[in-house]
Amino acid sequence: MKYSGWPEPGELVVGEIDEIADFGVFVDLDEYEDKRGLCHISEVASGWIKNVRDHVREGQTVVAKVLEVDESSQQIDLSIKDVNEHQRKEKIQEWKNEQKADNWMLLALGEDVSDDRYGTVANALLSEHESLYDAFESAAIHGSEALDAIDLDDDVAERIVETARENVSVPYVDVTGYVDLECAEPDGIDHLKAALEAAEGNGEVPEEVELEVSYVGSPEYRIRVRAPDYKTAEDELEAAAKRARTSIESVGGTGNFHRDRHEDDE
């Protein structure tokens, strides 16, 4: 997807060098439709430059900072030297992600989708998400809930979720905790089983979360949680431990949650 507007001063843009002159280089902006910028020789690299071609080449993909924009004269002034390595890598990754998202849009809407239709759906997604990639990532993690606040036809939302879950590699984090569960009642084993089932959620765990409870050694049980982010993982871990404690304590048993495995179980 290429934007039809103009970049803002201070913005980082990705482009391809399509012409080199003695006074600088011309850059075709990959993210903006029919937009071309000029990077003066003094903004190509730090220090004195004898030959521009010693620093850049035609066809090279570069990240540049927008210095000035003059729409009346159709001029965009750029600087390549003002972009550090960290900014360059981050911007290139963002650009690659948006290229992926553009392909996912075509998978969801069809290769023959009109520009107007594409733009309508894209703008709807961008009204709630910072980028198309963020929208698809959220759809992969949260399903249709990620699109509830967006004005989309049900069939389009369904295809976006389906495409996202087939193509987006979701980053997950893992956290682990332990609960000690004890019950001295005659039917204590049954109460322990019930407490472990409660820890597993009884179907209440969010779809994007994986939760596993396993036996370590009496009276200790391990709870492992995999989730899209640390906050969700930690919240679900604590909730699972609380369910187990509540269940066992309701029948006269005891429960204790801790983060580290007992030393004598090593």
> Which has more confidence, 85 or 144?
85
Decide: helix, strand or coil at residue 90.
helix
Q: Supply 116's token pair.
A: 């107007």
CA distance 205 to 208: 8
Reply yes or no on whether the pLDDT at 66 is more than 50: yes
CA distance 102 to 100: 5
1 — pLDDT class (breaks 50, 70, 90): low
- Taking phi first (over 0 means left), then psi (-120 to 50 degrees means alpha), and beta for anything else, what does residue 172 get? beta
User: How far does the chain reach from its first CA to its final CA, in angstroms?
Assistant: 54
Over residues 114-149, the pLDDT tens digits come to 989 999 999 999 999 999 999 999 898 888 888 988
Instruction: Give the pLDDT mean for 51-59.
Output: 93
* Fold of the 173-265 domain: Alpha-Beta Plaits (3.30.70)
Q: According to the model, what pLDDT value does residue 177 have? A: 93
Looking at the structure, give the CATH architecture of the domain made up of residues 87-167.
Orthogonal Bundle (1.10)
Reply yes or no on whether the pLDDT at 108 is more than 90: yes
- Cα torsion through 89, 94, 100, 103, rounded to 10: -130
Q: According to the model, what pLDDT value does residue 263 have? A: 58
Domain boundaries, the chain: 12-82, 87-167, 173-265
Over residues 190-237, the pLDDT tens digits come to 999 999 999 998 777 888 899 999 999 889 999 999 998 888 889 999
Q: Is the peptide bond before 206 cis (omega within 30 degrees of 0)?
A: no
Write the class of the CATH domain 12-82: mainly beta
Residue type, 174: D
Reply yes or no on whether the pLDDT at 264 is more than 60: no
CA distance 44 to 40: 7
Reply yes or no on whether the pLDDT at 266 is more than 50: no
Q: Supply 138's token pair.
A: 């959220």
Q: What's the mean pLDDT when you consider all of the chain?
A: 91
Q: Is the peptide bond before 219 cis (omega within 30 degrees of 0)?
A: yes
> Which has more confidence, 205 or 239?
239
Provide CB contacts within 8 A for 16, sequence distance 6+: 27, 28, 30, 59, 60, 61, 62
The fraction of the chain above a pLDDT of 90, given in percent, is 73
